[in-house]
Amino acid sequence: MPFKFNADGTIAIDGEKKLPIFIHPNGTEAPFDADTTLGTITRLNGEAKTHREGKEAAEAKLKTFEGIEDGVAALAALNTVKSLSSGELKTAAQVKEIQDAAAKTAQEQVAAQAKTSATQLQELTAQLEKRTSELNTHMIGGGFSSSKLFTDDKHPLRLAIPPEMAKAYFGNNFKVEDGKTVPYDAGGNKIFSPTRPGEIADFDEGLAQLVQACPFKDQILKGSGASGGGATGGGAGAGAGKSMTRAAFDAATPAAKAEFAKGGGAVTD
């Protein structure tokens, strides 16, 4: 989702909302509200925290039953103590009858409580995973849509493919850790910054190194005279004059494939 630029090279601003204009892969234009995006990320972080705390509370509740290996024996011992009345012990038959009834009731209650807690834990875990996935998708997707590899025509690795297509191919190389996007290479190793020794690369640094290592780098980089996402005039689409390997095309989303094909892009084996 690249910025729209004016003829003088400046970013186009929406006249009503006074916000920079982005161009979606399908060609529609819309103002980009950074404050709303940050608010969404903050909300998702809060929801993820709430579900995580609920999950931890459910796990703590289950630990209440730890350490009791023989529940029946424990209940029988308690029942024996309760059967003492006025210093006299009830008959063995009476005690046994009471023990059996109490044990059955207690076992049913424990089983019901354990089942309920396990169900709650499962539901909270699923909700937490869903919220975490939504947050990660939002942050990683935003990284691609605002990357300088798509918005800066002077970037040495300016990409000619839409951000959605790049996300489809490189998206799995990014993970969200401690609220930040962390890039990983094909071997599963974290990518470090080339300018800040010892520090993890930021999104653009990581994407640039992934593009450099891509086997079909030349097919996805923007040439000096080619048109790309966000360019105006000339009527050429995002794929005009470009070719892409079958593997890269198959990894793209349906929308990205359609845009590439509509612009005249060619798929090679």
pLDDT digits (tens, 9 = 90+) for 237-266: 444 446 677 777 776 667 677 766 766 677
How far is residue 134's CA from residue 141's CA, in Å, rounded to a whole number? 10
Closest among 260, 217, 223 to 240, alpha carbons compared: 260
Decide which of 7 and 66 is more confident. Answer: 7
Q: Calculate the average pLDDT of the chain.
A: 79
* Residue written as token pair 């404050």: 35
Of residues 113 and 77, the one with the higher pLDDT is 113
Q: What residue spans define the domains of the chain? A: 21-32+147-268, 37-143
The confidence score (pLDDT) of residue 264 equals 66
Residue 11: pLDDT over 90 = no
The answer on pLDDT for 143 being more than 90 is: yes
Q: How confident is the model at residue 233 (pLDDT cuts 50, 70, 90)?
A: very low
> Of 66 and 11, which is predicted with more confidence?
11
Distance CA 79, CA 10 (A): 83
**Cβ pair 175, 181 in contact under 8 A:** yes
Name which of 58-72, 90-104, 174-188 the model is least confident about.
58-72
Give the pLDDT confidence score for residue 25 in this predicted structure.
Answer: 77
Specify the pLDDT at position 71.
64
Lowest mean pLDDT among 151-165, 194-208, 252-266: 252-266
